[in-house]
Structure 1
Amino acid sequence: MTLESGGAAVGRFTVTENGSPGEQGESVLRLTGELDHDSAPTLRTAFARWDDAGATRVLVDCSGLDFCDSTGINLLLDARTRAQARGGIVALVGMTPRVARVFEITGAATLFPRYASLAEARTAAAD
């Protein structure tokens, strides 16, 4: 499933879900474009789907994410808190240097497991 937000003023933002939320307890959300105040509802909708399904492991593929502001970071932190409440995690995968820098500056980078690729994230889960 692909959820979209966009327009000339805010840029195009998509969230693509790989697999079904809750499928084997894992969901992969691929973010593309700019995550900000205007596009955050699109990601919030995707998180609500996996939250309702009870997924315990959400891998957020950030390799296509061009920008993330404080609204996006707060949304990810909220998802992390909800996942932890049920024994789950939200992990960030494939962060671009530009987006990773924002997470480092804000201190949010230390709060998420981060992996270079989905394969690496899945290998870490198997250990």
Structure 2
Amino acid sequence: MAPTGAADRFTVDVRHVGDAVVLALAGELDHDTIGPLREALDAALAGDGERLLVDFSDVGFCDSTGLNILLRGRLAARESGSSIELVGLGRPVERMFRITGADTVFTVYPDVERALAERPGHDG
């Protein structure tokens, strides 16, 4: 059996829905797999005032590397008039955000549908 690489463990699917860009993450987000998320955030933040929804519904693990890239992205989003909002935090991921206090600086929704139905947040 061939060893699995980082690309096999983590993916980012980018789609535009109304005024939002949804980054649907899947797999394990850590130091070795952060590249696709970094690239997707950079590309999305290059737009004008777009609302970014980062969907964790299919993420089973996220370490501090993932948290740090989102916190940095949040600052960049605020400077450009955008927002980064989190969606579908599963138990292990939600726990890390809660323990670190990061859940208090992001608007968090249970699913993409609810996020899209509610007025765009401005993580503050």
Instruction: Tell me if both proteins adopt one fold, taking TM over 0.5 as the criterion.
Output: yes
Q: 1:20-31 counterparts in 2 under 5 A?
A: 25-31=19-25
Describe the shift of the 1:55–1:25 C-alpha distance in structure 2 as closer, same or farther (beyond 3 A). farther
Counterparts of 1:30 and 1:55 in 2: how far apart (Å)?
19
Counterparts of 1:77 and 1:88 in 2: how far apart (Å)?
13
Structure 1, residues 50-95: CA drift from partner, whole Å, max 9, x if none? 1122352100110001111011000001111111112221000011
> Structure 2 regions of 5+ residues with no counterpart?
none
> Structure 1 regions of 5+ residues with no counterpart?
1-6
**Between the two proteins, what is the percent identity of the paired residues?**
40
Runs of 4+ in 1 over 3 A off after TM superposition: none
RMSD: 2.0
Instruction: Tell me the TM-score normalised to structure 1 length.
Output: 0.84
Look up the equivalent residue of 1:93 and give its one-letter code: V
Q: Check if 1:16 corresponds to 2:13.
A: yes
Q: Check if 1:75 corresponds to 2:72.
A: no
Aligned length: 118
Tell me which of 47, 57, 74 is aligned to 1:63. Answer: 57
Describe the shift of the 1:126–1:25 C-alpha distance in structure 2 as closer, same or farther (beyond 3 A). closer
